[in-house]
Amino acid sequence: MTTARLTLDPAFAIGEVDPRLFGSFVEHMGRCVYTGIFEPGHPRAGADGLRADVLELVRELGVTLVRYPGGNFVSNYRWEDGVGPVGNRPRRLDLAWRSLESNTFGLNEFMSWAGQAGVDPMMAVNLGTRGVAEAAELVEYCNVREGTAAADLRRKHGVAQPHDIRLWCLGNEMDGPWQIGALTAREYGRLAARAGHAMRRVDPSIELVACGSSNADMPTFAAWEATVLEEAYDQVDYLSLHHYFDPGRQDEASFRASAVRLDGFVEDVVATADHVRAKLRRSKRINLALDEWNVWYQSRFTEPEDRGIEDLPPLIEDDYTVTDAMVVGNLLISMLRHADRLTVGCQAQLVNVIAPIRTEANGPAWRQATFHPFAHTARLARGTVLRAAVSSPSMATGSFGDVPVVDAVATRDERTGELTIFAVNRGTGALPLELDLRAFPGLRAGERIELADADPLIVNSAAAPDRVRARTEEMPVLDGGRATVLLPAVSWHALRFTPEEKP
């Protein structure tokens, strides 16, 4: 086969696009916070120390939700250290990353930043070194208007109105032996149930996310999920998934096909959650939160125990290539393909740390290659997700055997009538893609966005911030509901079709 074919039909509906799928992650790790989103004295920083250049890029990226403050960091974090007069805040040793934490940026600063960025918060509580009482008190500080000790403390700190945080993580990666306060599945499930119960007594309207496995390669994967849900099913709404994709730990073709692994991971967790639902005879279905995901060159990472204690160490500031950007775009396609159950996503992280946005201290901010597929998918994916029936040539991979070269999904916005196809060419040669849209009469060609380069290993930098960027290309005219688009090697695409204008 020398041509790929894609057919769409409105009957191929999967589910609705949840805007929270396009979330991100801010952790007190490396330079994500300090000299990332927050840098007092920077030429573009306001009086509050927030970098306006980064805020502009965050808005352009289209992030809807941001998880905070960790990550591994949260399992040794005292939230009280980051509130109140800055001059009174203690300087602490962060055990997760063996870094010094000044606490000059904390909860209320984050909420101010979130308001300016136009994002919703996803707050994590410390269930590593702390527990039920501290988790409930944090909800009280954030969500109760007045008249209690914690709420009145917030008001004393200059925040009169409650933050009204809806989405809460019950710890982070509690199965990981690297985690401060790691637990067995049974221990964690019982703790999550108790903490969730207390937190809901403070605010019954909140949504709770239980920790799933840290990744699909954990030896306890699936058994962990099943045990945790057996203990905490009635208290939680979501189960978290974390997965990173490392170009250095697999053959290059397998890396380009990373979405195959994500597809299987999501489907395995859905099956496990539904097994527990049936076992417990519950009607509620647990949805999934992929609240850590990205390309990460983990094979280059120096573990915390192998480093000295540092102040703002530049941790995992990976430079992303065109190939990495194609993989990120393909992972977003996989996420949309599971929109019926996967409704929250957080790309980790937002700035500097394996991030789509990079900064220099006292210097510029710029977009990495991975910025572009995320930004355009977040902007264009609206309405109902449609399964794309794709026939494609295959390519050989070491991890997955033969896989399709072309992968795709589509969304249809019933409000505007717009149809958008998101597609990737995972292969090393250009390939025509024939589109069959006859089931959608009355459409005309609209916007065509492409990310590709003759050198798939090229990156952006402070010196060349726009070397890699998405380009608008000419869209072929639909002829009887059909058109053909040429997909360059290792490329990502968004193809938008709009209703014909009525005379």
We report the CATH number of the domain holding residue 422 as 2.60.40.1180
Q: Are residues 319 and 428 in the same domain?
A: no
pLDDT at 490 over 70: yes
The span from the first CA to the last CA of the chain, in angstroms, equals 41
Same domain, 272 and 348: yes
Residue numbers of the domain that contains 392: 4-9+385-499
C-alpha dist (Å) from residue 147 to 138, 140, 444: 15, 10, 58
The total of structural domains in the chain comes to 2
Q: Last residue of some domain: 341, 367, 382?
A: 382
Give yes or no for a contact between 474 and 406, defined as CB atoms under 8 angstroms apart: no
**Contact assessment for residue 206 and residue 178, using Cβ atoms and an 8 Å cutoff:** no
In the annotation, is 267 catalytic? no
Q: Is 474 one of the catalytic residues?
A: no
| Phi/psi at 123 (5° precision) | -95, 135
pLDDT digits (tens, 9 = 90+) for 150-183: 999 999 999 999 999 999 999 999 999 999 999 9
Over range 313-338, report the average pLDDT: 97
> What pLDDT score does 140 carry?
98
CATH number, domain at 125? 3.20.20.80
Q: What is the pLDDT of residues 392-436, one digit of tens each?
A: 999 999 999 999 999 999 999 999 999 999 999 999 999 999 999
Find, among 60, 66, 9, the residue nearest to 384 by Cα.
Answer: 9
121-136 pLDDT, tens per residue?
Answer: 999 999 999 999 999 9
Give per-residue pLDDT as tens, 339-380: 999 999 999 999 999 999 999 999 999 999 999 999 999 999
CA atoms of 269 and 222, how far apart (whole Å) = 7
Residues 6+ away with beta carbon under 8 Å from 95: 76, 180
Q: What is the pLDDT of residue 203?
A: 98
Catalytically annotated residue among 80, 140, 225, 292: 292
Taking alpha carbons only, the member of 330, 314, 323, 355 closest to residue 57 is 355
pLDDT at 503 over 80: no
Q: Write out 74-121 in H/E/C secondary structure.
A: HHHCCHHHHCCCHHHCCCEEECCCCEEECCCCCHHHHHHHHHHHCCEE
| 341 and 391 belong to one structural domain | no
For residues 331 and 389, state if they share a domain.
no
**Above pLDDT 70, what percent of the chain?**
99
CA–CA gap between residue 309 and residue 306 (Å, rounded): 10
From the candidates 109, 140, 173, 450, give the one annotated as an active-site residue.
Answer: 173
304: pLDDT strictly greater than 80: no
Residue-averaged pLDDT of the chain: 96
CA–CA distances in Å: residue 457 to residues 278, 403, 468, 493: 47, 22, 10, 18
**Same domain as 241, residue 209:** yes
Domain final residue pick, 382, 415, 448: 382
366 and 328 co-located in one domain: yes
* Amino acid 241: pLDDT: 97
Instruction: Give the pLDDT confidence score for residue 501 in this predicted structure.
Output: 78
Verify cis geometry, omega within 30 degrees of 0, for the bond prior to 69: yes
Same domain, 168 and 33: yes
**Is the per-residue pLDDT at 325 higher than 80?**
yes
Check whether residue 460 and residue 319 sit in a common domain. Answer: no
Q: What is the pTM of this model?
A: 0.96
d(CA 274, CA 437): 34
Handedness of CA 325, 329, 332, 334 (dihedral sign): negative
pLDDT tens-digit readout, 193-224: 999 999 999 999 999 999 999 999 999 999 99
Position 302 scores a pLDDT of 78
Q: Does 308 score more than 90 pLDDT? A: no
Tell me, yes or no, whether 278 and 413 share the same domain: no
Distance CA 444, CA 479 (A): 9
Write down the residue that tokens 């909860």 correspond to: 107
Domain boundary at 331, 348, 382, which?
382
Tell me, yes or no, whether 365 and 443 share the same domain.
Answer: no
281 and 408 inside one domain: no
Q: Tell me, yes or no, whether 391 and 450 share the same domain.
A: yes
